[in-house]
Amino acid sequence: MTNLLIEMTERARVLGVPLSVQLDLTYRCNERCVHCYLDHDDHGEMTTAEIKHLLDEMAEAGVFILTLSGGEIFLRKDFFEILEHARRLMFCVKLKTNGILIREREAARIRDLGIESIQISIYSYRPEVHDAITLVPGSLKRSLTAIRFLKSQGLRVIVANVLMAENMQDYTGVRALATEMGVECTIDPTITPMMDGNRSTLNLGVRDAALREVFRDPELVGDVDEFCAIPAPAGESDLEATPCSAGHTACYVSPYGDLFPCVQFPLPTGNVRKQRFEDIWRHSERMNEVRSIRIKDLTTCTQCTHVSNCTRCPGLAFMEGNMRGPSSLDCEKSFARTGVASANMLAKKRSGANLVQIRAFPDLAAATA
């Protein structure tokens, strides 16, 4: 983020303006990625008119950065109508797609509409690995073709490489491919539970030694010593800080009009089909509860060595059962980075020790046998 954007985001936070919104246009998709957290059936997506009306309300509320995502956004037949409306309202539009449906014609239309960037998921430079993740044969070839079309139009393209155990060996190759194509590349080892709470997808993620290896690659993290250093103790300002932008300057709207603090924070706060966007944003009790939380209010985490620079995601903590609690996935990241266990990990270890103690009553077991 540039300094000016940081400054404007801070102003938006103070003013309570939702500067940035992700709007998923559909959960339908033409890929079936093994780690995806969505259910791909259509349970009643917003109509074109409803989405346009929502965009009007969001512009009125001060939303500047609009990320259109899904599902696969190009599966909506009205996609370009929605995009044109968004640009007419002068949103800074970012797109997330797999690119499979983008050909020269679509790339040219996207260029004409002046979008800020388009992010395309690439899991590997090898078709056998990428296609095994998307479960669509030929998908890597089609996504790369789309990138070339978009790049030839002068668009800013970002390759998003989600790291999992299955593709973890390939990120260097993906980065090299991105460089060769003249596009940016982001790498993210975060896998999220499914929106219905199913956590089975987490088993696909990069853990333990593999995660440590990723965090020690200077190509990814820059100064390894600095990145992996044990953080300084939290000061007063760290404890007074808010956990992240969710509910403060950012939120998420599902294809069904449900408004959440973030795409990774499935706490419904209202529905834009029934209430004005800004009314939910400003007055929803749940949104205000999320907004009220400061780092000092977190259970467990306030006692943690990592509290001043943890990547703790409040949404992942919520999915674990407590929006003020720790996010174990982020504890693992802090541990992989520094080698120091988090307060949450230590507490779990202690409760594990208690269980050993409970088992140590052979006489009682013998007496009841």
Partner 1 sequence: MSRLFVARNPRVAARSLDGEMMIMSGRDSTLFTLNRTATILWQAADGRTPLDEIVQTRICAEFDVTPAEALQDAETLARDLASHEILQVSEQPIQSTSLPSEGSR
Total of chain residues touching partner 1, rule CB under 8 A: 27
Phi-psi map region of 90: left, alpha, beta (phi>0 left; psi -120 to 50 alpha): left
Give 113 or 195: the residue with its C-beta nearer to partner 1: 113
- Contacts to partner 1 from residues 16-45, by CB under 8 A: 17, 19
Q: How many CB atoms lie within 10 A of CB 205?
A: 20
Q: How are beta strands 20-24 and 184-188 bridged, if at all?
A: unpaired
Nearest Cα to 194, choosing from 40, 83, 88? 40
Give 19 or 313: the residue with its C-beta nearer to partner 1: 19
Smallest gap from Cβ 2 to partner 1, in A, equals 6
Smallest gap from Cβ 249 to partner 1, in A, equals 11
The interface region with partner 1, picked from 2-10, 68-76, 237-245, 344-352 by CB under 8 A, is 2-10
Cα angle: 288, vertex 310, 195; to 5 degrees: 55
- Contacts to partner 1 from residues 75-134, by CB under 8 A: 84, 87-93, 113-114, 116-117
Smallest gap from Cβ 250 to partner 1, in A, equals 14
Give 83 or 301: the residue with its C-beta nearer to partner 1: 83
Smallest gap from Cβ 144 to partner 1, in A, equals 23
Q: Which residue has the tokens 């590997």?
A: 124
Token pair, residue 134, equals 């998307």
Contact between 2 and partner 1 by CB under 8 A: the answer reads yes
Phi-psi map region of 251: left, alpha, beta (phi>0 left; psi -120 to 50 alpha): beta
Give 154 or 233: the residue with its C-beta nearer to partner 1: 154
Residue 304 identity: C
Smallest gap from Cβ 92 to partner 1, in A, equals 3
Q: How many CB atoms lie within 10 A of CB 4?
A: 8
Task: Give strand pairing partners of 246.
Answer: 250
Distance, in Å, from the CA atom of 126 to the CA atom of 129, rounded to the nearest integer, reads 6
Give 250 or 317: the residue with its C-beta nearer to partner 1: 250
Contact between 182 and partner 1 by CB under 8 A: the answer reads no
Distance, in Å, from the CA atom of 355 to the CA atom of 152, rounded to the nearest integer, reads 61
Smallest gap from Cβ 345 to partner 1, in A, equals 40
Give 158 or 346: the residue with its C-beta nearer to partner 1: 158
Contact between 156 and partner 1 by CB under 8 A: the answer reads yes
Question: Residues 267, 286: contact at Cβ < 8 Å?
Answer: yes
Distance, in Å, from the CA atom of 364 to the CA atom of 368, rounded to the nearest integer, reads 6
Contact between 46 and partner 1 by CB under 8 A: the answer reads no
Q: Which of 16, 40, 48, 62 binds partner 1 (CB under 8 A)?
A: 62
Smallest gap from Cβ 60 to partner 1, in A, equals 7
Question: Residues 162, 129: contact at Cβ < 8 Å?
Answer: no
The interface region with partner 1, picked from 58-66, 222-230, 271-279, 352-360 by CB under 8 A, is 58-66
Q: Which of 38, 54, 63, 253 binds partner 1 (CB under 8 A)?
A: 63
Question: Residues 61, 278: contact at Cβ < 8 Å?
Answer: yes
Smallest gap from Cβ 63 to partner 1, in A, equals 7
Alpha helices in 153-276 (DSSP H): 171-181, 208-215, 218-221, 224-227, 236-240
Give 108 or 113: the residue with its C-beta nearer to partner 1: 113
Give 84 or 217: the residue with its C-beta nearer to partner 1: 84
Give 8 or 194: the residue with its C-beta nearer to partner 1: 8
Q: What is the DSSP string of 253-272?
A: E-TTSEEESBTTB----EET
Which residues are near partner 1 by CB under 8 A? 2, 4-5, 8, 11-12, 15, 17, 19, 59-60, 62-64, 84, 87-93, 113-114, 116-117, 156
